[in-house]
Structure 1
Amino acid sequence: MAEPEKLITVDIATPDGLIYSCDGISVEMRAIDGQRTILYNHTPLLTPLSICEVKVTRDKEASNKVDHIAISGGYIEFSDNVATIIADSAERAANIDVSRAEAAKARAEKHLKEAIASHDQPSFERAQIALRRAVNRISVYNNKK
């Protein structure tokens, strides 16, 4: 008799509420200190996340059973085989408006150049973050294909 698949629950919430909840075999994301993959019975964990793509693999036999979610930083807490991500913002790949993300990227690049020209460090840092968020959303959208 086949052993039942060992699954973890992955929940992603933002200030707007729960945007994703699914059982999977793994969840991958970038913590501020590097890439992380969490599997069944992983050691309990609480760590801050970077602006990144979260990948939830739902089935190890089918490569199309991977969900892609763009997040703009936050935290992940894992215990008792439940991964809870609290993110500043999160968007499933299928819901990303790529033309809006590309427009945000262009605006951020423009603001970055203006901040460099005027030696405005706070504006430079805000533009860098906006650019990373836009590039992440575009990348996640492209990875779903």
Structure 2
Amino acid sequence: MGAEMDRLSAGSRSIGGISVFMGQVRDGPDGLESLTLEHYPGMTEKVLTALADEAVRRFSLTGCTLIHRVGTLPVGAPIVFVGTSSAHRAEALAGTNFLIDRLKTGAPFWKCERYHDGRCVWVDAREADDKASALWDE
């Protein structure tokens, strides 16, 4: 994470704010063992690049990093890193919030939760995520 932070601020003395979000696999009441994330190679990278480009334009970001892991990850492992930098904190914070909201609904990832009893449950889209993403359309 340190290297990503360095990249967000490298070479610019005009950066006044850096915002970072790191999401990780969390346990739940049913005893989650791991989370498997699948994606559509090629398409996923295009969507992530388009989201980052939109955030840079929309929020006047000087830096933007968006990393999303795939594969099987244990509880506690990092899944996503979103980092933004800007001349002002408000833009950096808004850019980070925009990216995580859009990432949850716009990027082609599929999640399967594996439990200690062997069950694997595919995660459905959440209405709350759709609502959060839709707020950026206004």
When normalised by structure 2's length, the TM-score is 0.30
- Structure with greater helix share of residues: 2
- Structure with greater strand share of residues: 1
When normalised by structure 1's length, the TM-score is 0.29
Which structure would you say has the larger Rg?
1
